[in-house]
Structure 1
């Protein structure tokens, strides 16, 4: 299993994650938490965080959670996301955990939350995905 600093290095090696400023705040024991500060460039025309940003965050959190359980050689096989409410706030937080880890596939769930200026969390999306373990 990889540790938090190794996992942060993996995130840093993703140019898109670097562009967005994504942070890995928790990693291990079949779970991972990613955070991203909300800024104007991430909003859609109504002032909400764009759904693609929420999906990106869920996808990465699901895969990092799987990596915490199955090792670092994993890729997303697929995921679904349900948008629960518009995301308006200062920070996004995606918390993912493993539901079941097999030899070749890992199933994970993720809650995407938006935090206000005081740190109160509001759920804005929920995702479930399957991550493939590469040989």
Structure 2
């Protein structure tokens, strides 16, 4: 059974931390997934930028959702690395992940984390890579 965008949204809505952050799945399928988070004051660090932990969360979850398009719904992240490139300044964080390689039980994914500004400009803020494995349902 192929998973749909609605299925992905149901899974995200069942994650209390994702609900707390206000995360949304905006694309899901074809070995890729996109999550978005609207920036609000509670998510900023002391210099007024989006906290790095929010970017790391978005990378982790987008990577796991992308892997789920090839491995199915019973998956967990086994590792994520992230490189911060530019401060998180903007109104929306967009995490776009895609599967780089998948096997029968494991997938490796890459993720681009971009900040969207009110004027429509986009700044690449971080790059991440992660590995996801299937788990017993």
**TM class by smaller structure:** over 0.9
Distance 2:44 2:88 in 1: 9
Distance 2:120 2:135 in 1: 37
The ranges of structure 1 where at least 4 consecutive aligned residues each deviate by more than 6 angstroms after the TM superposition are: none
Deviation at 1:119, TM superposition (A): 2.5
Alignment of 1:113-124 (within 5 A): 113-124=114-125
- 1:15 maps to 2:36: no
| Runs of 5+ consecutive residues of structure 1 not aligned to the other structure | none
Distance 1:131 1:119 in 2: 32
Deviation at 1:118, TM superposition (A): 2.4
Count of aligned pairs: 135
Deviation at 1:104, TM superposition (A): 1.5
Match of 1:66 in 2: 67
Match of 2:100 in 1: 99
TM-score by length of 2: 0.96
Match of 1:38 in 2: 39
SS in 2 for 1:109: strand
| Runs of 5+ consecutive residues of structure 2 not aligned to the other structure | none
Deviation at 1:129, TM superposition (A): 0.4
* RMSD, aligned CA: 0.7
Deviation at 1:60, TM superposition (A): 0.2
